[in-house]
Amino acid sequence: MASVLVTGSSGRIGRAVVAELTRRGHRVRGFDRVPGPAGAEFVVGSLTDRAALDHAMQDIDTLIHLAATPDDADFLSEILPNNLLGVYHVLESARLAGVKRLILASSGQVNWWQRESGQIPVRPTEAASPRYWYAASKMFLESIGRGFAEMHGLSVIIARLGWCPRTPAQEQEIAEQNWAQDVYISPRDSGRFFACAVEAPDTVRFAVVFGAGRPTHQLQFDPSTARTLLGFEPEDAWPEGLSS
Ligand SMILES: NC(=O)c1ccc[n+]([C@@H]2O[C@H](COP(=O)([O-])OP(=O)(O)OC[C@H]3O[C@@H](n4cnc5c(N)ncnc54)[C@H](O)[C@@H]3O)[C@@H](O)[C@H]2O)c1
């Protein structure tokens, strides 16, 4: 069983990940600036508070890094502290604490323009085409993840996620667009996806994997690396599992 720190554990995906890891018997600790459910092991803190991160990282062997501004937002007040400076502190804290595996939440938005122009299914080996500032910040995360695998020998899994809606307005957006339905991933599939990444063999040194549900129209993201390296098979297709 792994000892897992989940940053962003109070968020949409984080809550599902904590629930699935706990169900599978892993030891789970949450980290978020928003307090988590009563009873769960949890550290309240910000990604820019190194002391809080170092405290949370004690006795952890696997980090799932979800905490971030999860879409485009003001660069200076949101993306810069949460998605860039925060990544520096989280990864340095993890390295110095002796964490063995990093599972880093990236986004399908790093392949935005190739998918928009119909070059699908996008494969993880293709050059990325980030949509804008948010996706560019995820490329920073992916790049330093690769650096950590090479420089420090950590196992690093980059999770390029599809779309797990956070609001009724986002659910409506997905309902209106075929491509969005094809990249939809339910909360419970998100939980399973990250649990598979935690449980993947130690031989996975660096991998980029897409996390999406079962497409209903056209395959947008190549699911083969998630299948072969992590053993992940999505169970839900839009709109299954929306409230999971
Ligand atoms: N939901 C999706 O469709 C989707 C798609 C692709 C990638 N992602 C990525 O997955 C991750 C989780 O997304 P989500 O949809 O659950 O988002 P969310 O907004 O529901 O959760 C993010 C959590 O991170 C926390 N957080 C943000 N900044 C923080 C900081 N500075 N310090 C401490 N905690 C902080 C928030 O309080 C929140 O609980 C993000 O990295 C996001 O970029 C999500």
pLDDT digits (tens, 9 = 90+) for 24-40: 999 999 999 999 877 78
Q: Which domain holds residue 132?
A: 3-230
11 lines ligand 1 (CB under 6 A): yes
Residue 238: inside a domain, yes or no? no
Atom number in ligand 1 closest to CA 134: 43
In a domain, 51, yes or no: yes
Average pLDDT over the chain reads 97
pLDDT of residue 39: 75
Tens digits of per-residue pLDDT, 39-50?
789 999 999 999
161 pLDDT exceeds 90? Answer: yes
Mean pLDDT computed over 126-152 = 98
Q: Is residue 239 part of a domain?
A: no
Share of the chain above pLDDT 70, in %: 100
> Is 236 a member of any domain?
no
The mean pLDDT value for 197-209 works out to 97
pLDDT of residue 68: 98
CA of 49 to the centre of ligand 1 (A): 17
**How far lies 237's CA from each of 67, 148, 185, 212, in Å?**
25, 34, 8, 9
What's the pLDDT score for residue 196? 98
Report if residue 82 sits inside a domain: yes
For ligand 1, whether the C-beta of 174 sits within 6 Å is no
Q: Is residue 69 part of a domain?
A: yes
pLDDT reported for residue 38: 74
| Residue 244 located in a structural domain | no
Reported confidence tier of residue 244, pLDDT bands at 50, 70, 90:
confident
Is the CB of residue 50 below 6 angstroms from any atom belonging to ligand 1?
no
CA distance 135 to 128: 10
The pLDDT score that the predictor gives to residue 112 is: 98
pLDDT 10s digits, 64-116: 999 999 999 999 999 999 999 999 999 999 999 999 999 999 999 999 999 99
Residue 142 lies in a domain: yes
For residues 154 and 39, the model is more confident at 154
Report percent pLDDT > 90 for the chain: 98
Question: What pLDDT was estimated at residue 66?
Answer: 98
- Nearest atom (ligand 1) to Cα of 67: 24
Does ligand 1 come within 6 angstroms of the Cβ of 213?
no
Q: How far is the CA of 31 from the centre of ligand 1 (A)?
A: 12
- The upper half-sphere exposure of residue 149, i.e. CA atoms within 13 Å in the direction of its Cβ, equals 21
CATH number for 54? 3.40.50.720
At 122-131, the pLDDT tens digits run 999 999 999 9
**70 in ligand 1 pocket by Cβ < 6 Å?**
yes
Its pTM stands at 0.98
- Atom 39 (ligand 1) nearest CA: 11
How many domains does the chain fold into?
1
- Ligand 1 lined by 120 (C-beta under 6 Å): no
